[in-house]
Chain A
Amino acid sequence: MTEIKFKLNGKKQVIKSNPNRRLLDVLREDFDLTGSKEGCGEGECGACSVLLNGQIANSCCIPLANVDGQDIVTIEGFSKTKEYQVIKDSFAEAGGVQCGFCTPGMIIATQSLLNENPHPSDYEIKIGLSGNLCRCTGYNLIIKSVKLAAKDGDDLW
């Protein structure tokens, strides 16, 4: 058991746990934050994406040990922000949501991308989403959603 101190969705947390647990399990089981999903367990599908220090990371591949001193934001925490409102509206408007399982990860990917690059080209959007798999949409409407978010949130990022 190790003491791990980190910031989770804006709040300081101190937990005593096995540092070899995956961050994804800690989020889903200890904190009831089930918005991050397990789709593959090996860092391929991105359904487990969270923001690590503001950047997208696959929580199924992060050991709790490496979370010490870091800033983690899950979809639940991100959904309280202004940026989220813009992204949420654009995904709804453009039709980028079907079964919804990849969606929280896509939202996180969008935020991570726009945070670094507020006006991405189509190619840059594809790269930003390249670690998130979707089986329902064929990606086009998700790319449209991100473009719309970039356009609508022009001074947020």
Chain B
Amino acid sequence: MKDISKSINKVDNEEKISGQAKYVADYKMDGMLYAMTKRSTIAKGEIVKIEYPELPEGYYIIDHKDVQGKNIIKVIFEDWPVFTDKQITYLYEPIMLVIGPDKSVIVDILDKIKITYKENKPIFEWTDSVIDYHFDKGQGNRAFDNVDKVIEHTYQTGYQEQAYIEPQGFIGYPEGEKTTLLGSIQCPYYVKNAVIQALGEKNENVRVIQAHVGGAFGGKEEYPSLIGCQLAVAVKKIKKPIKLIFEREEDMLVTTKRHPSKTNFKAAIKDNKIVGLKAHVSIDAGATIGLSGVVLSRALLAVSGAYTFDHLDVSGNVYRTNTVPNGAFRGFGAPQMFFAVDMFIEHVGKELGYNPLDFRQKLLVKQGDRTSTNGLFRDPVLMPEMIQKAIDESDYKNKIKKYSQEKNFKGIGMSLFFHGCGFTGSGEKNIIKAKVRLKKTKDDKVHILVAAVDMGQGIKTTFRKLIAHMLDLDIEKVVFNNPDTDFVPDSGPTVASRTMMIVGGLLARAAKEMKSRWVENDFTVEKEYEQPDYIEYDELHFVGDAYPAYSWGVNIVEVEVDPVTYQVYIKKSWSVYDVGKAIDEKIVMGQADGGLAQGLAYGYLEVMNHKDGKIMQKNMTDYIIPTAMDMSEMETYLFDNPYAFGPYGAKGVGELPLIGGPAAIAKAIENAIGKTVYKIPVTPEYIMELMNND
């Protein structure tokens, strides 16, 4: 039996390389109109009056008055209006769409619409707490009684912008009674359900189709529901095709970004050991809560990092500010937390006089240990072997010693991390309830019917490969088209590193049944998610197994810092991952490279801040992501560790490679400059501050 990990060429290479693959902006329809958005020019206040110019024939304005259903976007926490009717809570909040055939006329109309506001004082400080979580493990705070000392540090992380190369957009068009949306999205059913709610429509009258997606990384998880609803309202009223594509600046200024965070850690020290850990995490939700509660949860669940601590006191707050709402981005709270905790444990180790690596290795999670919420790490944890592999390949131990002694502005750093695979908590069981279908047709072809989106991570190939393998078919016989909600069941959103493990797992179950019924000609197998019964989670009290499985990682990064300009040059990186089983090795390697590039850049390169609620880096010139010149050679090694409930043992891959990047590079920079780093991105400006503060 062939090893499924053995790589094949991706099935969609040809159409993408030749430029034939169509992304949403590439579509044209007869009689198509354009939509552009009128946005607030203040960060907080209310609309007092709107004066409209006279609209030429064929031009429309769509606003809250046209919303026939609920003027609220269906997201985890529903506080995001489709169009604001009065309140302004962030700069560039959408107020209305202007629609028509000629963009220059639309621009003119937008210019002439005069809005009078009553401005209020915006809140940018983190003072308005809207979500408050707390949980303990073991003795919680009592572990701090009668200790020798307490070590305390605070760590900060900034915004990160997804910067997918293809900006957001949709085309909406009527199909009889139906409103159809074709868009660059991760979650067709999120959009469909949101549109049903906004239009007050019947299920069968809303259709959402995924166009090719030019990168997403979480940025197209919930945000498209907003523009999808706005567009759907317009299409329903005007009954013509309408195209709404963001240009880069608009996309950067108004779409969701990674939550900035601040984490305060305290370690209770007794007999020179950590006997308790206390953490408080704050994240900035921006103007709406949306899914910030889940981001905070994921961060809190990662509070002890790759280490086991018996006593934890964990709390967190989501703060609402009058800034652009923040949302999903690969990692979803875990990158923020793993930066903080992996730095903290290293810092504590150093302060207690240990070799930090020895210190951390002794604290590593072992199979059978309890998670931060008293769940269980049921499966083997291969971290010791993975760390050894990374050390051997990189010569880490010799280098870190050499660089510390030589003080030559060269440095090396290692991060240790995991990622909980699947939706946090009971989401899979209680909210998503994924369904998949496999359909065998008379020509002996098998059609994969799921709502999972290939946004570059390669599921067009890996899903087809999975089914081909299980049914012993030629991959050409397996069909997987871009999801269209008219034809596929809701297998859940393409998020949370759940696609191969959960959706693929369901497909594997369906394939197994199909195989046993293969003699039948024309039939469909449907499977629905069943939570393994040993997974129990009490979401309210943060107790139990928050995730069914964990993927693990080690990153080592070597850097050189220029002592004159304080710039950081990445020399090389070595990564070791346990993702259970690679369904295609080359594809997993691609994810590993790309994720690490984003993680490293989050750690040292990507700067985004706001001034009075306005994002200051609003284009690809000012928001700095790596170019080919900036990235180094990356060596990646995979360890097999099959997970019983994943197809062929596969666990989650998508987010893991980003998680460890920031801590690894921050530590490498610390090693290079001999100073301690407490925030990311570790920019040259910050390095200069550190080096000049003696």
Contacts and interface: CB of A to CB of B under 8 A. Distances in A.
Query: A–B direct touch, CB within 8 Å, in complex?
Result: yes
Nearest to B25: A38
B165 interface: yes
A88 interface: yes
Given A98-B458, A102-B165, A139 B18 contact: no
Given A75-B18, A79-B19, A140-B634, A126 B629 contact: yes
Given A99-B165, A135-B217, 10 more contacts: A34-B19, A39-B248, A40-B619, A40-B621, A45-B165, A75-B19, A76-B18, A95-B7, A97-B13, A140-B593
Contact of B456 (A47, A99, A133): A99
A129 B620 contact: no
Nearest to B22: A34
A137 interface: yes
A95 to B, nearest CB: 4
Contacts of B21: 100
Interface string B619-651: 111000111110101100000000000000000
Pick the most buried of B162, B455, B597: most chain A CB atoms within 10 A of its CB.
Answer: B597
Contact of A42 (B23, B619, B629, B631): B619
A41 B214 CA distance: 16
Contacts of B217: 135
A102 to B, nearest CB: 5
Interface string B11-45: 01111111111110110100000000000000000
Given A79-B19, A135-B598, A37 B629 contact: no
B18 A92 contact: no
Interface stretch (B187-195, B318-326, B489-497, B584-592): B584-592
Contact of A79 (B18, B593, B594): B18
Interface string B234-268: 00000000000001110000000000000000000
A116 B159 CA distance: 40
Give the secondary structure class of A's interface.
Answer: loop
A8 interface: no
Contact of B248 (A40, A79, A100): A40
Contact of B628 (A35, A107, A132): A132
A127 B23 CA distance: 28
Contacts of A129: 627-628
Q: Which of A32, A131, A134 has the most CB of B within 10 A?
A: A134
B590 A98 contact: yes
B586 A143 contact: no
A34 B23 CA distance: 9
A137 to B, nearest CB: 5
A32 B27 CA distance: 10
Most buried by B among A99, A131, A139: A99
A56 interface: no
- The interface residues of chain B, by DSSP majority, are classed as loop
Contacts of B165: 37, 39, 45, 47, 99, 101-102, 133-135
Interface in A114-157: 125-127, 129-143
Given A41-B248, A135-B215, A126 B14 contact: no
Q: Kindly state the interface size class of chain B when it binds its partner.
A: 35 or more
B605 interface: no
Interface of A: 28, 32-42, 44-45, 47, 74-76, 79, 87-88, 91-93, 95, 97-104, 107, 125-127, 129-143
B172 interface: no
A92 B248 contact: no
Contacts of A34: 19, 22, 25-26
A132 B165 CA distance: 10
Contacts of A133: 165, 620, 625, 627
7 contacts: A37-B25, A40-B621, A75-B18, A79-B17, A87-B17, A101-B214, A126-B628
B166 A130 contact: no
Interface of B: 7, 9-10, 12-23, 25-26, 28, 162-167, 212-217, 247-249, 455-458, 586-587, 589-590, 593-598, 619-621, 625-629, 631, 633-634
B622 to A, nearest CB: 10
Contact of B589 (A32, A33, A91, A95): A95
Q: Which 7 pairs of residues, A with B, have the shortest CB-CB distance?
A: A35-B19, A101-B214, A100-B16, A99-B456, A138-B597, A98-B456, A138-B593
Contacts, number: 175
Contact of A76 (B19, B25, B596, B634): B19
Contacts of B28: 32
Given A40-B619, A91-B13, A95-B587, A137 B594 contact: yes
B14 A44 contact: no
A36 B456 contact: no
Contact of A40 (B17, B22, B620): B620
A142 B628 contact: yes
Given A37-B214, A100-B214, A133-B620, A92 B20 contact: no
B215 A101 contact: yes
Nearest to B593: A138
Contacts of B167: 38-39
A136 B657 CA distance: 12
B105 to A, nearest CB: 16
A97 B620 contact: no
Contacts of B9: 92-93
B590 A137 contact: yes
A39 B620 contact: yes
B164 to A, nearest CB: 6
A91 to B, nearest CB: 6
A40 B163 CA distance: 10
A142 B15 CA distance: 17
Given A40-B619, A98-B457, A126-B629, A141 B14 contact: no
A131 B594 CA distance: 18
Given A45-B620, A142-B628, A104 B19 contact: yes
Contact of A101 (B166, B458, B619, B626): B166
A99 B166 contact: yes
A39 to B, nearest CB: 4
Contacts of A135: 162-165, 215, 217, 594, 598, 625
Nearest to B627: A130
Nearest to B217: A135
Given A37-B25, A95-B7, A135-B163, A100 B12 contact: yes
B20 A35 contact: yes
B166 A37 contact: yes
Contacts of A126: 628-629
